[in-house]
Structure 1
Amino acid sequence: MNTLKTTKLIVALALSALCLGSFDANAQQENYFRAIGSPHKPKVEIAWNRYYSAEGLWDWMKKIAAAHPKLAKIESIGKSFEGRDILTLTITDFSTGKDTDKPAMWIDGNIHSNEIQGGEFSLYVAWYLTEMHADTKFIQELLRDKTFYITPTINPDARNNFFKEPNTANSPRSGMIVLDNDGDGQAGEDMMNDLDGDGHITMMIRRSPTGRFIKDPLDPRRLMAVGPDQVGDYEMLGQEGMDNDGDGEVNEDGIGYYDPNRDWGWNWQPDYIQRGAMRYPFTLPENRAVMEFVMKHPNIAGAQSFHNSGGMILRGPGAEEDLNTYNREDIRIYDAIGKKGEEMIPGYRYLTVYKDLYSVFGGELDWFYGNRGIFTYTNELMVPYLYFNKEAG
């Protein structure tokens, strides 16, 4: 063995001894070189470089429960509009007591069906807690004393539609109830048309002598606007589709429109005040299922809902009219956690919904706090900070 190899081995052994308190060369070197923040040999090997349909999420949830029966149980807490189960994992160390006898945290994702990342984030939390339990003292202590209720998607119908049917990046944001969006007395008569059959609803363009756009030389699928004194090659015609009902609009009467995050029974306002509110609080079966589960579990003390995008850590109130609901002592706790989150997640901002974004009536986080006294945050995932900030490395 040459000197360089010997030196590397000694350094590896020394680091292993410092980190793990043992000189078992094979075992400690193996442990030392595992990826930080992940189990060395997971019982459930999930690929995190892709997104999963509702059935895909459920399959992994079932495998987690099967692989860790002392830590995880799975159940359906209700049915979606199209009759799919809304599956929830209960995660705790069941050997130390019932889940309902411990303070608990509720975690959900994907209430907006096109904001799919929340499903994988929620699933990852469940996977991490169960897979890391055997080797991590903190998680052992956490699950000994606490419970997690994790529902990766509370909008499974529209999650699948987003994956499997032609859509824009923003559709469907709602669930799958078909409404009369254009007020002509008919529902769903002008759905989206995938004219070129590529599985996507994109913008239609055509060549024009007075066009304002040219193709991006780095990506010909994109158009770039030309300067005010220049003439481009193309003009925009609008969204891909046809005027099926002859009212002069294209694709205006499809799935939705309503907003599942405006349907909750706290400071709810009708649709003419809060767009997307539906007919009354908890019109939607998916939200109603979550509400009924939470009402049956008064041990829930904290909640987290994953959305995207924008890199935000959000708290209520959603509307200024609800400002007095949030008492001063609780806001101090909210602020302490939110500011710590800013430190831990570079590029994320801690914000208050009504003050820093816009007014939201009938939002989930306000119902959790206002109705149940549960400290609740919404994370808007994804932020370009780490891509473009040279100091972020």
Structure 2
Amino acid sequence: MPAVPVPRFDQFYRYAELTRLLQDYAAAAPGLVALESIGKSWEGRDIWLLTLTDAASGSDGDKPAIWIDGNIHAAELTASTTCLYWLHQLVSGWTAGEAAVRHLLQTRAVYIVPRLNPDGAELALADRPRHIRSSTRPYPFDEEPVDGLTIEDVDGDGRVLQMRLPDPHGPYKKHEGDPRLMVAREPGEFGGEYFRLIPEGTLKNFDGLMLNANPDREGLDLNRNFPSGWRQEFEQLGAGPYPTSEPEVRAMVDFISRHPNIGAAVSFHTHSGVILRPMGTASDDDMTPEDLWTYKRFSELGAKLTGYPAISIWHDFKYHPKQVITGTQDWVYEHLGALFWVVELWSPNKEAGITDYKWIDWYREHPVEDDLKLLKWSDDHCGGKAHVNWYPYRHPQLGMVELGGWDKMNFWRNPPPALREREAARFPAWLQQIALSLPRLELLRAEVRALGEDTWRIRFAVANAGWLPSYVTKRALERKTVRGTVFQIHLPPGVSLVSGREREIGAHLEGHAPKTSQQAFLPSREITADRAVVEWVVRGARGTALALTATADRAGTVRTEVTLD
């Protein structure tokens, strides 16, 4: 059997290399890792999904599962690295006999899609890259721009920086203490040396006066294409012509819809260094209290284990105070009722020692002292590559300009190579704890008692061995996306039912999470709400074997057999 591969976490893999790496994992651990394509991207690339579970202890569909994805946005490549990191930790941990990993993969399934958007990532990793939002499909129109600036790498160095042009009407000036840094011109200021800052790119039909940056011809945002809360382009940019119109999103939606055993999901993005929890469309006051308590509990665990703060999307992470943004979190939690988090990997601000900042608000306005800290961080820890010193370049349309400024792809959207593994390594412990907390159906008892010569009572009892209830969230109950425990007796020829039904739908099962503290005024009376029992009376010949199954959508399936004896 081939050895377990050892990936490079300090580099981003192109599509062909990534495919070979995933194939190597499947070949190295055939009873543990299965690789499949869940669909094709717009350009026809396979969207790879890995299923990790111990096949000897049951199929993935019979076990509760967690879903992990990354790189839905084109240039957010560290998200893919983080998925690969947990994949490697699970496979190597299993091989090394780590008890927690073995228990996880014997009792649960893990679904990992390292790169949900292979086309956009390939464009971001091209020799002359462009950094679009998501898919490479032209949207909302097919036409190439006839004028204006297209943002791209013009000098072929693999970076998309900024262009600096002297202009007496320009809004920027050099910082007095460090002329590399461009700062905003003060209100009413005049008489100095001023500049325009323009994204690096090429121009069409420039008249020497008017200059505008074109929106990306590829205007889709795959994270806005999910069914729940979908809105048209005039309300939500990049949402596509209709929900799941895009093959990448449709592949994910189809797979999760076919796998009701998925009780929790985490989607990795960049950047901000924060864990985001639902809801995205309503405040905590409007959230089902039990779900809010669960989210806060697991989010606090995430903050403790990763070092990332955990915050509410609605309350703390809006692009605009009046704007509501819907996406994956709304579909997975608000629509399906499964637990879901978005992780925004990596914070250059924090790395530079900027601690007093609030996520999105910082990008609207912040003190120049923060920029100086970031510049020092570039000098001291990035070899001066995070902020590129301005250098002259003869632009094909503009003539002599200077290129430089922040390399956002390699140091803002993603950490520098030396820090990528460190960021990815923050998450396996938290992901594992979520997965091990999922509900899990276990056999308690399957017994037969003779009631007469050919009449028998069969008693079948199961329990939820997980921390979470079998339905996972109250939202799932409200939306009717999960059923209670489904018991089934499979009658062979010659056996008939005297009482009971072949299929019985029983109660939902609570988990072992305590509902109240031991000092509560009103302690819980539901002492065995984690258990369910069903009885049948059958008529059949002694020695006949009967199969029994019990299934809870998000807690898995129990299969057993009894003999009339």
- Normalised by the length of structure 1, the TM-score is 0.78
Tell me, in whole angstroms, the C-alpha distance in 2 between the residues paired with 1:230 and 1:186: 42
Using a 3 Å threshold, how does the CA distance of structure 1 residues 321 and 361 change in structure 2: closer, same or farther?
Answer: farther
Asked if the contact 1:270/1:279 (under 8 Å) is kept, the reply is yes
Whether 2:65 is the aligned partner of 1:118: answer: no
2:161 is matched by which residue type in structure 1?
Answer: T
The alpha carbon displacement at 1:54 in A equals 2.6
Whether 2:143 is the aligned partner of 1:186: answer: yes
Equivalent residues in 2 for 1:13-52 (5 A)?
43-52=4-13
Using a 3 Å threshold, how does the CA distance of structure 1 residues 219 and 145 change in structure 2: closer, same or farther?
Answer: farther
Please, which of 166, 178, 198 is the counterpart of residue 157 of structure 2?
Answer: 198
Q: What do residues 303-362 of structure 1 show as CA deviations (whole Å, max 9, x unaligned)?
A: 0000111111111121128975x422122111100011112222x221111221125444
Asked if the contact 1:193/1:251 (under 8 Å) is kept, the reply is no
Please, which of 157, 174, 177 is the counterpart of residue 214 of structure 1?
Answer: 174
2:312 alignment counterpart? 352
Using a 3 Å threshold, how does the CA distance of structure 1 residues 284 and 216 change in structure 2: closer, same or farther?
Answer: farther
RMSD over equivalenced CA pairs, Å: 2.9
Higher normalized helix content (fraction of residues): 1
1:21 alignment counterpart? none
The alpha carbon displacement at 1:245 in A equals 5.7
Asked if the contact 1:244/1:250 (under 8 Å) is kept, the reply is no
1:118 is matched by which residue type in structure 2?
Answer: A
Whether 2:340 is the aligned partner of 1:379: answer: no
Please, which of 222, 225, 231 is the counterpart of residue 263 of structure 1?
Answer: 225
1:144 is matched by which residue type in structure 2?
Answer: Q
Tell me, in whole angstroms, the C-alpha distance in 2 between the residues paired with 1:231 and 1:167: 38
Using a 3 Å threshold, how does the CA distance of structure 1 residues 199 and 385 change in structure 2: closer, same or farther?
Answer: closer
Using a 3 Å threshold, how does the CA distance of structure 1 residues 207 and 337 change in structure 2: closer, same or farther?
Answer: same
Equivalent residues in 2 for 1:114-263 (5 A)?
114-133=75-94, 134-164=96-126, 166-167=128-129, 171-180=131-140, 186-189=143-146, 191-192=150-151, 194-207=153-166, 212-214=172-174, 223=182, 235-244=195-204, 248-263=210-225
The alpha carbon displacement at 1:178 in A equals 1.3
2:336 is matched by which residue type in structure 1?
Answer: R
The alpha carbon displacement at 1:193 in A equals 5.4
Whether 2:259 is the aligned partner of 1:297: answer: yes
Asked if the contact 2:35/2:51 (under 8 Å) is kept, the reply is yes
Aligned residues: percent identity? 32
Aligned pair count?
A: 341
Secondary structure of the structure 2 residue equivalent to 1:380 = strand
Asked if the contact 2:127/2:156 (under 8 Å) is kept, the reply is no
Tell me, in whole angstroms, the C-alpha distance in 2 between the residues paired with 1:349 and 1:333: 16
Tell me, in whole angstroms, the C-alpha distance in 2 between the residues paired with 1:311 and 1:123: 19
2:282 alignment counterpart? 320
Using a 3 Å threshold, how does the CA distance of structure 1 residues 81 and 210 change in structure 2: closer, same or farther?
Answer: closer
Q: What do residues 270-289 of structure 1 show as CA deviations (whole Å, max 9, x unaligned)?
A: 11111221111111110000
2:514 alignment counterpart? none
Please, which of 246, 266, 279 is the counterpart of residue 284 of structure 1?
Answer: 246
Tell me, in whole angstroms, the C-alpha distance in 2 between the residues paired with 1:318 and 1:145: 32
1:318 is matched by which residue type in structure 2?
Answer: G
Using a 3 Å threshold, how does the CA distance of structure 1 residues 151 and 253 change in structure 2: closer, same or farther?
Answer: same
Tell me, in whole angstroms, the C-alpha distance in 2 between the residues paired with 1:219 and 1:161: 33
- Contiguous gaps of at least 5 residues in structure 1: 1-41
Which has the larger displacement, 361-370 or 131-140? 361-370
Secondary structure of the structure 1 residue equivalent to 2:263 = strand
The alpha carbon displacement at 1:51 in A equals 1.6
Equivalent residues in 2 for 1:329-340 (5 A)?
329-340=290-301
Q: From the CA coordinates, give the structure whose radius of gyration is larger.
A: 2
Tell me, in whole angstroms, the C-alpha distance in 2 between the residues paired with 1:159 and 1:323: 38
The alpha carbon displacement at 1:389 in A equals 8.0
Which has the larger displacement, 371-380 or 225-234? 225-234
The alpha carbon displacement at 1:239 in A equals 2.2
Tell me, in whole angstroms, the C-alpha distance in 2 between the residues paired with 1:141 and 1:365: 28
Using a 3 Å threshold, how does the CA distance of structure 1 residues 284 and 141 change in structure 2: closer, same or farther?
Answer: same
Tell me, in whole angstroms, the C-alpha distance in 1 between the residues paired with 2:226 and 2:284: 14
The alpha carbon displacement at 1:70 in A equals 1.3
Whether 2:55 is the aligned partner of 1:98: answer: no
Q: What do residues 49-83 of structure 1 show as CA deviations (whole Å, max 9, x unaligned)?
A: 22212333222211111111111000000000000
Using a 3 Å threshold, how does the CA distance of structure 1 residues 385 and 199 change in structure 2: closer, same or farther?
Answer: closer
Q: What do residues 144-169 of structure 1 show as CA deviations (whole Å, max 9, x unaligned)?
A: 0000000001000010101105456x
Tell me, in whole angstroms, the C-alpha distance in 1 between the residues paired with 2:138 and 2:205: 16
